[in-house]
Structure 1
């Protein structure tokens, strides 16, 4: 019996192909086989590209204004991001994968780790299991996907890279059963920068040490790597050697800070409009704070002008406002943020962006006030109000009930001029079917 059949860890990494573009194609088949890119918030730059778009030379981060010639000459289709749709389809993919194993860790909106060794009696052949995953996700959600298998999360992620880049594997690569000599030769063709957790700077340092490929790093001594880098890189080498050091995270660890910010659709000059935008961002951040059952002890606010223009005067500033008591109350956080904005706002500037960071996070429920105040009573009252607020917005839609300071006109809202309908999450945007 093989080690994997005996119960050693085996991980799969499922990754949606060109995920945002694939989501758009689910409800608009006319986009198939056409160059399509999805733009960042405010229609700023390319964040997802179809294969046809990549063939035109479009790179991640290319700004929209540089793509206009491709739009005219090659019919490039540029769509505004539709994160409500992408998030919903991501959840549907996760539901499909749960039929293959209960042990799943969503890694990102388009990637999921699945631990599968307990399923080996049903699926002794991992390639067949991966092919079944790919087929079912395509049939039920219509999202093309690739699957890679490994005895560690790092090898599973690398195997997924192999599946994506090598069509002969049909979208599935199982490194656990691939012949050792052939696997080494294959990994020797992959740049070390493709390893999970190896960024550009680390890759450059490895290259200077004569380590250029994944196989080079895989054959290195973990202790030698640790002496030049860190215990994290030592762990990476062990994972490349098939030793599992990272298990699934059943529950993602609470974030140590929460950031909410966006560029404006139009330039903003008044403190009032900046305050509306800031309050809106605080509202989003506070929802995330409560969702992870945390409170924050300080609020950092920043503003900045458009650093890419030379016509207007430049200004950038930020300030941190400590809270008298840790809180997750939207109104308390918004009050602190607006006080910070008042301190750093300057007339005569056209602002492009503002944002908020919630800092000094701690678990809710262990807040202690001073001996004479009524913090505990106020905290309980706040919890009731915020729970009601979250419940209403979850049931009837975002911003059904919100802080008045967020305004109603919202002239500053980021551009999304080419956003498709939120087909699966808004009743008013359901697709229409016509019978003849």
Structure 2
């Protein structure tokens, strides 16, 4: 048996932990630069507010006080996720973190009743972190994902859906939307729409040979997992990233390369920090620039430039240098760029890096510098030390509705006042 722990409306729930007055009220969380809605409470969903809906379309509701709004506070959400996963890890034999708000856990060898065990997991996480979760338990990961969705939909399940009997699984698949099955995706969803297939049961009824021919091994795994055949293994160790990207949308278009240069340097520095935190090195640095696709009256461009490194590295100094070279190659005068980013690829473990006779003598110096850079920033706060190319003013997004970083910044701790 596999379990899936899925945090309910995670970003909204994180905000409500420190604002209990918002429980039962419509709440939304906005994307970078307060552009569009990326999380909604159930109350906001019932008002008809859609996922990805532009913020300006619901501004009147917010100004009338009908909806509470927050800018995305990823420092808070990341730390709350860590707390949820730590609690879950203490309760089960092993977990596989799937995303910031989801984790699979292994139940092989656990004694019945698993439904009550799942409910106790949910109660413990809620008590320890304040975050409500839904637990799905089933013979495969794909069925566990479906079970967790049912746990959210039906309050009588008390936060845990234990789906193990063949007849119960079959009843669920007869009604469960095919597009909502883990692994189907939009492309296959459109294909099944054209075929008139709408439920998971109809997908399972397709011949094995047809699924293999049209959807390959990945589709066949999903098809088999829906029938209770375990095909997606449990991985306790997180998979090493194949790419690392930092990108942002700007509050307004940027027309000058000199204005983009410190921003790209900052993005490259952030990428390098993530790279070192995973114990990896990269062999490729890419910079990309995008114009504002919402302004159709203006010329549209997507620019990108790639730099192959002579030797894989995790040095912020070298990665920033290469990203700035890529920016100079990608930039085209006369265009207003609304978004930019830096991407690292050809990522390998640093332990597997082999030097050569031509390895520059600065390699060891850079390694020592990066140790100092990371240790100072960890001890004294983010961006205490930065490379000079970033300038003195870090890139700031529009975040007019940002909540405090209650759990990661001493200056923003929650203050409680006692009254007589």
Same fold per superposition (TM over 0.5) = yes
* In structure 2, C-alpha distance between the alignment counterparts of 1:344 and 1:251, rounded to whole Å: 37
Check conservation: 1:223, 1:234, Cα contact below 8 A. Answer: no
Report Cα offsets for 1:402-426 as digits up to 9, x if no partner: 111111223x521111010000000
Pick the aligned partner of 1:155 from 143, 164, 169: 143
1:431 corresponds to: 414
Pick the aligned partner of 1:203 from 189, 198, 201: 189
Check conservation: 1:15, 1:146, Cα contact below 8 A. Answer: yes
State the Cα distance separating 1:314 from its structure 2 match: 4.2
1:387 corresponds to: 371
1:4 corresponds to: none
- Match of 1:413, SS? coil
State the Cα distance separating 1:230 from its structure 2 match: 0.6
- Structure 2: segments with no counterpart, 5+ residues: none
- Match of 1:320, SS? strand
1:304 and 2:310 aligned: no
1:330 and 2:316 aligned: yes
State the Cα distance separating 1:96 from its structure 2 match: 1.6
- Match of 2:287, SS? strand
231 and 310 in structure 1: CA distance in 2 versus 1, 3 angstrom threshold: closer
Q: CA RMSD of the aligned region, Å? A: 1.9
State the Cα distance separating 1:345 from its structure 2 match: 2.5
2:400 corresponds to: 417
1:7 corresponds to: none
State the Cα distance separating 1:190 from its structure 2 match: 1.1
238 and 310 in structure 1: CA distance in 2 versus 1, 3 angstrom threshold: closer
State the Cα distance separating 1:28 from its structure 2 match: 0.7
State the Cα distance separating 1:368 from its structure 2 match: 4.6
State the Cα distance separating 1:33 from its structure 2 match: 1.1
State the Cα distance separating 1:322 from its structure 2 match: 1.8
Pick the aligned partner of 2:153 from 165, 171, 175: 165
347 and 206 in structure 1: CA distance in 2 versus 1, 3 angstrom threshold: closer
Most deviating of 181-190 and 98-107: 181-190
Report Cα offsets for 1:18-75 as digits up to 9, x if no partner: 1100100000111111111000111111110001100111111001111113224561
- Match of 1:331, SS? helix
1:408 and 2:392 aligned: yes
Report Cα offsets for 1:193-242 as digits up to 9, x if no partner: 11101012212323444542112223444343112211111111111111
2:349 corresponds to: 363
Pick the aligned partner of 1:23 from 14, 18, 21: 14
* In structure 2, C-alpha distance between the alignment counterparts of 1:204 and 1:317, rounded to whole Å: 30
Most deviating of 384-393 and 328-337: 384-393
Pick the aligned partner of 1:84 from 67, 75, 82: 75
Check conservation: 1:100, 1:119, Cα contact below 8 A. Answer: no
1:218 corresponds to: 204
1:246 corresponds to: 232
1:59 and 2:50 aligned: yes
1:185 corresponds to: 171
Check conservation: 1:295, 1:327, Cα contact below 8 A. Answer: yes
- Match of 2:109, SS? helix
1:265 and 2:256 aligned: no
- Structure 1: segments with no counterpart, 5+ residues: 1-9
Report Cα offsets for 1:359-404 as digits up to 9, x if no partner: 2223324445554x243x4333322221221122222221111111
2:134 corresponds to: 146
Pick the aligned partner of 1:346 from 332, 335, 341: 332
* In structure 1, C-alpha distance between the alignment counterparts of 2:386 and 2:396, rounded to whole Å: 16
Most deviating of 67-76 and 353-362: 67-76
1:14 and 2:5 aligned: yes
* In structure 1, C-alpha distance between the alignment counterparts of 2:29 and 2:196, rounded to whole Å: 38
2:110 corresponds to: 119
* In structure 1, C-alpha distance between the alignment counterparts of 2:216 and 2:97, rounded to whole Å: 26
- Match of 1:301, SS? strand
Report Cα offsets for 1:159-200 as digits up to 9, x if no partner: 111111222322211111x4x334322221111111101012
72 and 322 in structure 1: CA distance in 2 versus 1, 3 angstrom threshold: same
Check conservation: 1:296, 1:326, Cα contact below 8 A. Answer: yes
State the Cα distance separating 1:333 from its structure 2 match: 0.9
1:99 and 2:90 aligned: yes
State the TM-score, normalizing by the size of structure 1.
0.91
State the TM-score, normalizing by the size of structure 2.
0.94
150 and 329 in structure 1: CA distance in 2 versus 1, 3 angstrom threshold: same
